[in-house]
Chain A
């Protein structure tokens, strides 16, 4: 089974802090994604990566950056956390060039609160 893990289930940070969210997958997937999920707004794509050191902006990249130095690890960085970044953050991965990128496997999520 695909396993996607995230570094923290719950995180509380102060406004202005730099925040790192880590995601690791163990299935050698090329593709990894960061989403945030908010009530009434659904899942929104922040950034994704098709390969090591590659990154593409999603629908809401402002205030975020990402890093993918190794194939299995995809990090989301909040450069200066703000209260409107309080949300559930979900990492996902998808494999292979013969498989649709819509077949994604999600991690358990990190609930981030910025005070």
Chain B
């Protein structure tokens, strides 16, 4: 069983619409959750982190965490062509400061102008 699961896509969204990316994880004791963006041919970059249940907003991005359902999502409002990338969900276990990051395989997002 994969530890972090994402729909591989591709997910196509019209420009200006909301893109919704989903991720589930198997380890119930997971503590910290991250979204990384990876443009084609580039390395991943951190765009959002979330540590407690609920929503966290940063500009056009909102991360949502539901630990009871073991589910984390990323919403991108007013999608732009520059948002076209692969989005990686990542999760760490317990013991803050001594944890390993486990990545999902990523969802490829395409914003259609």
Residues of A with Cβ closer than 8 Å to B?
A: 33, 40-45, 48, 50, 58, 90, 97, 100-109
Distance in Å: Cβ of B64 to nearest Cβ of chain A? 17
Query: Is the pair A102, B44 in contact by a Cβ cutoff of 8 Å?
Result: no
A58 to B99 Cα, complex, angstroms: 11
Report if B43 contacts A (CB, 8 A): yes
Kindly count the residue-residue contacts between A and B in the assembled complex, taking CB atoms under 8 Å apart.
56
Query: Is the pair A104, B43 in contact by a Cβ cutoff of 8 Å?
Result: no
A43-B44, A109-B43 known; A104 vs B103 contact (CB < 8 Å)? no
Query: Is the pair A45, B105 in contact by a Cβ cutoff of 8 Å?
Result: no
A96 to B95 Cα, complex, angstroms: 14
Query: Is the pair B100, A45 in contact by a Cβ cutoff of 8 Å?
Result: yes
* B47-77 to A contact mask, C-beta < 8 Å, 1/0: 0010100000000000000000000000000
A50 to B90 Cα, complex, angstroms: 19
With a 10 A CB-CB cut-off, give which of A41, A43, A107 has the most chain B CB atoms. A43
Query: Is the pair B105, A40 in contact by a Cβ cutoff of 8 Å?
Result: yes
